[in-house]
Structure 1
């Protein structure tokens, strides 16, 4: 039977070639034919949703080189981790709009770093409009996979995350189910709250290979369930009644034993049998990101045997894959 093609999702645009979450990163992903793009969203001091991987922006913008913002450098505890740097919630949108995007991994991706300091930060509303226009220009549906970042943290400092996002989605015409929208988060509480605001989308729960979700840890401490506990039969039964899908670290999907990949984790089929969509993140060709059996040589930036790893992922018959190099992903997963 022919293998079905998963959705190919441009993870932060096309960060294998351009600084993540920059305008050119998304433009390139859309030109390369992805089914959807994935923006991470955090907030400014005046409640504007902006597209950044984290609210700490020292590695993804030129803020550290801007003397007018030197006094904004501080240390905060974000999801249980102490971080020092500059944070989006300490800037208004007008201030953030003066910053420029930078490559987060310049040693691994020097080609992308050559575009540093040339593009401003995007608002979430900018990205929604960009995708809508691309869909009209290309004559096809293109989706948005919205990842809500640090919802419990932002809620703890006074932000009504669900209401802010619901308002932005409604203003852009992405709230009523007419355009393909997926909402994802490592915190299921954030998904429930946005669904309760009437947003019509598919809600997907992100799960790490280790640890526990911060919303539950903040509420229940060390007794809160781990990610692994939520992938047991009992956990999957609960999730199937509460979300539309799960998105797994590829370490969970690839059953690695004795230094080799021995197939696909049974959790994928178990979830799909319960009616859950299953996605995985992130398909990247560089040695630094490949499972150990697929690395070739010692150069972390060099491409390893990514096709072999992606074949194992494709054989899992997933509903969607996140890719950093959309041209490779579109070609491979639709082959």
Structure 2
């Protein structure tokens, strides 16, 4: 039987339903915030359309499909190690619920004002977390990804950076990383701030410098201010926004931040925005795409890049006119959707299917 390292590597290299046929990735942004003509393709949680998200297998597959950047979401363990999970709650992305020795760790917390029951990274040491295995987060949508349940560990941020370094050598191009700080205020109140270990890790790896292929993103403007003003990060920062609501513990709405005045203020400490894609092209009442908003032009006028999220291939995530058939989990016209958005002048996109993103940008 192959050992775990062989299984991980084989799982990463074998591409599930790849779209590309001889299409290669060209460098997008030469480094930092300096663009050329190619928009960025960011592997959202790796190639999470084909492998369980936030695993080394998912990140490696994204790179081999041509993604320019890998996007790890960062949370933290009880002993202060940054690990890659979509949320601090890990009941939905690991096999922790099947481990009787951890049954007593299940509890309910208030996460950014919402009551959440489950198992949380900050209740586990890294050694304990490494005994768990990743599972597909949305198995009803991506049944094929459940084939890999139980094979892959929860990676640390350092392990992702090590993978980036190795793949950059193997692929002959400088692969980027696009980490997101998840719920930074929540973790700060637990005495487990994300900022210091993030900055420390980037600097230890020689990646906090102008021109490094790194962007740091957050849904909390205050968190980005701390990184810019207190920690003096040299790499570009990106403010993520939701189509509704406010950043946690912030009286200002996302909509207010994305007005021309709000964007001008953001430009004092960030280099780009990551809007929910409906903020670039909203959907009409019938679920079809409407007319583009002025957001891309407004952001560019403020000197900010625009990289919306999240582009997925399944019908249920696509506008009504681009769905194919009636099965919500079947693939629709995802290439068409990405081409339509790229034609608005966005500077990149986050996609669960990096091969589709790489192909789409060749068609614009």
Which band: TM-score by shorter chain? over 0.9
- Checking the alignment, whether the CA contact within 8 Å between 2:338 and 2:357 is kept in structure 1 is no
Which one of 207, 213, 216 corresponds to residue 180 of structure 1?
Answer: 213
Whole-Å separation in 1 of the counterparts to 2:334 and 2:300: 25
How many residue pairs get aligned? The number is 326
Hey, what does 1:269 align to over in structure 2? 297
Quick check: which one's strand share is greater? 1
Whole-Å separation in 1 of the counterparts to 2:234 and 2:198: 13
**1:233-244 correspondence runs (5 A):** 233-244=260-271
Whole-Å separation in 2 of the counterparts to 1:233 and 1:311: 26
Which one of 295, 315, 333 corresponds to residue 287 of structure 1?
Answer: 315
- Checking the alignment, whether the CA contact within 8 Å between 2:73 and 2:182 is kept in structure 1 is yes
Which one of 223, 239, 254 corresponds to residue 281 of structure 2?
Answer: 254
Hey, what does 1:90 align to over in structure 2? 123
- Checking the alignment, whether the CA contact within 8 Å between 1:18 and 1:24 is kept in structure 2 is yes
Question: Which range is displaced more, 39-48 or 225-234?
Answer: 225-234
Hey, what does 1:230 align to over in structure 2? 257
Hey, what does 1:136 align to over in structure 2? 169
Hey, what does 1:220 align to over in structure 2? none
Q: Deviations over 1:255-288 (max 9, x none)?
A: 3335332332111111111110111001111112
Give the Å deviation of 1:305. 2.4
Hey, what does 1:325 align to over in structure 2? 353
Hey, what does 1:313 align to over in structure 2? 341
Hey, what does 1:10 align to over in structure 2? 43
TM-score calculated relative to the size of structure 2:
0.86
Give the Å deviation of 1:166. 1.2
Give the Å deviation of 1:68. 0.6
Hey, what does 1:202 align to over in structure 2? 236
TM-score calculated relative to the size of structure 1:
0.94
Whole-Å separation in 1 of the counterparts to 2:195 and 2:321: 41
Give the Å deviation of 1:178. 5.2
Whole-Å separation in 1 of the counterparts to 2:78 and 2:285: 49
Structure 1 residues without counterparts, runs of 5 or longer: 217-223
